[in-house]
Amino acid sequence: MRKRATLALADGTTFEGISFGAEGDATGEVVFNTSLTGYQEVLTDPSYVGQMICMTYPEQGNTGVNAADDESARVHATGYIVRHFAATPSSFRAEQSLDAFLIRHRVVGIAGIDTRRLTRHLRTHGSQMGIISTAGSAAALVERARALPGMEGQDLATRISTAQPYAWSEAGADAWSAAGRAEIAAPRLHVVAYDWGLKRAMLRLLAERGCRITVVPSRTTAAEALALRPDGVFLTNGPGDPAAVQGARETVGALLGKVPIFGICLGHQILSLALGARTYKLTFGHRGANQPVQELATGKVDITVQNHGFAVDPASLGGRARVTHLNLNDGTVEGIEVLDAPAFSVQYHPEASPGPHDARALFGRFVGLMERAS
């Protein structure tokens, strides 16, 4: 018999459901994700540090989980909110159930709530802090939620970054067989990747294109990065407020013009900050595998994967960069190109894990920049 559980939001709204996953309380910013598949990749995405995820698709856990699909070593979401979960998965790849996976990673979940109502509420009133608990009155839980610190001003990227540099050469972004995890032969380019909460699929796609990658901590200086003699620098995704990441904008500013640069998500925002731009918090963010993005130069539309709560103010970019991509849902900036240095970035996730592969050519574009510069 599962316990009753309550989800309480800081604005006083509450939802009643049942507990699954680990027992106890969970707190964090409550956000929603519109992906139809890929819940394991979502849960293990480090960009979800400090957040509780509501999945808009009602069925979760049908295919179970397996080690090959992890985007990092652990679950980073603090809580998981679903309409229904499959207690017994149905897939030949499944190694355990979603429920067991959450228990193993000590992540609290709530099921059986009206996730459509919650999503509409967050769209109208914005993402906000919340708590999941099996104990205490709804009123007491609301007061606890109201006391939680928000996401603005939090340097979560530095907190979860690797402590030491390490090498990466594993390919196979989509393969789950042993062959897909094989070491690639004779990489021709060296990429330094700043770890602000990276996803493994990004590194695998670079490795597939002939790159040897050195992953470095968030606080690695520009001089230290250049001392590694990279052909290019990769700015990864990550959680939290981009303006709060200590030293990041100064470091990227010092790298501009020295080597080609490619940024994704948080990396895109930090590159923009290095150019003197401003970032701001979106009302409810973009999270899901179905965001339409238009490339302005060609008119081509890609369906993209996204996971971010902040965006770049286009009016603040000045004359050093041009906007290259826009979100067709709300017109926010989805990509920029620096005019006086070989550098570009996108707000979305071209590695597409989970999601469509429309934008994966951007990794080839980065490789092309490095080859022309070398």
Task: Place 357 in a pLDDT band, splitting at 50, 70 and 90.
Answer: confident
Q: Is the pLDDT of residue 356 over 90?
A: no
Amino acid at 68: A
Mean local confidence (pLDDT), 166-173: 85
Give the model's pLDDT for residue 187. 86
> What's the CATH fold of domain 156-373?
Rossmann fold (3.40.50)
Average pLDDT over residues 37-46: 95
Average pLDDT over the chain reads 94
- Are the C-beta atoms of 14 and 8 separated by less than 8 Å? yes
Mean pLDDT value across residues 134-160: 94
Full DSSP string of 272-336: HHHTT--EEEEEEEEEEEEEEEEETTT--EEEEEEEEEEEE-GGGSTTSEEEEEEETTT--EEEE
Q: What Rg, from alpha-carbon coordinates, does the chain have? A: 20
pLDDT at 179 over 50: no
Chain-centroid distance, C-alpha 128: 18
- Provide the pLDDT for residue 173: 65
Q: Which DSSP string corresponds to 63-120?
A: T-B-GGG-SSSS---SEEE-SEE-SS---TT-SB-HHHHHHHTT-EEEESS-HHHHHH
Task: Sort 45 into a burial class: Cβ within 10 Å, 0-12 / 13-18 / 19+.
Answer: buried
Q: Which residues pair with 51 in a beta bridge?
A: 29
Instruction: Report pLDDT for 169.
Output: 85
pLDDT > 70? residue 370: yes
How large is the average pLDDT for residues 121-147? 96
Could you tell me the maximum CA-CA distance found in the chain, to the nearest angstrom? 63
What angle (nearest 5°) sits at the alpha carbon of residue 201, between those of residues 179 and 242?
165
The yes-or-no verdict on residue 196 having pLDDT over 70 is: yes
Fold exhibited by the domain 4-146:
Glucose Oxidase; domain 1 (3.50.30)
Mind listing the pLDDT tens digit for each residue in 286-342? Answer: 999 999 999 999 999 999 999 999 999 999 998 899 999 999 999 999 999 999 999
Give percent above pLDDT 90 in the chain.
Answer: 91
Indicate the range of 42-56, 181-195, 321-335 predicted with least confidence: 181-195
What pLDDT is attached to residue 184? Answer: 59
- Give the residue-averaged pLDDT of 224-238: 98
- Whether residue 178 has pLDDT greater than 60: no
pLDDT digits (tens, 9 = 90+) for 239-296: 999 999 999 999 999 999 999 999 999 999 999 999 999 999 999 999 999 999 999 9
197: how many CB neighbours lie within 10 A of its CB?
A: 26
Instruction: Write down the residue that tokens 């992953």 correspond to.
Output: 215
Residue 342: which of 305, 299, 304, 373 has the closest Cα? 373
Cα(154)–Cα(263) distance, rounded to whole angstroms? 20
pLDDT tens per residue across span 201-218: 999 999 999 999 999 999
pLDDT of residue 180: 47
The 3-state secondary structure of 55-66, one letter per residue: ECCCEECCCCEC
- Which amino acid is residue 249, in one-letter code? R
Residue 1: predicted pLDDT: 75
- What residues contact residue 46 under an 8 Å CB cut-off, 6+ apart? 71, 72, 76, 160, 197, 198, 199, 237, 238, 239
Whether 347 and 268 have beta carbons less than 8 Å apart is answered as yes
pTM (predicted TM-score):
0.94
For position 359, what pLDDT does the model report? 87
Instruction: Give me the residue spans of the domains in the chain.
Output: 4-146, 156-373
Catalytic residues: 265, 349, 351
Instruction: Quote the CA–CA distance of 31 and 6 in Å, as a whole number.
Output: 16
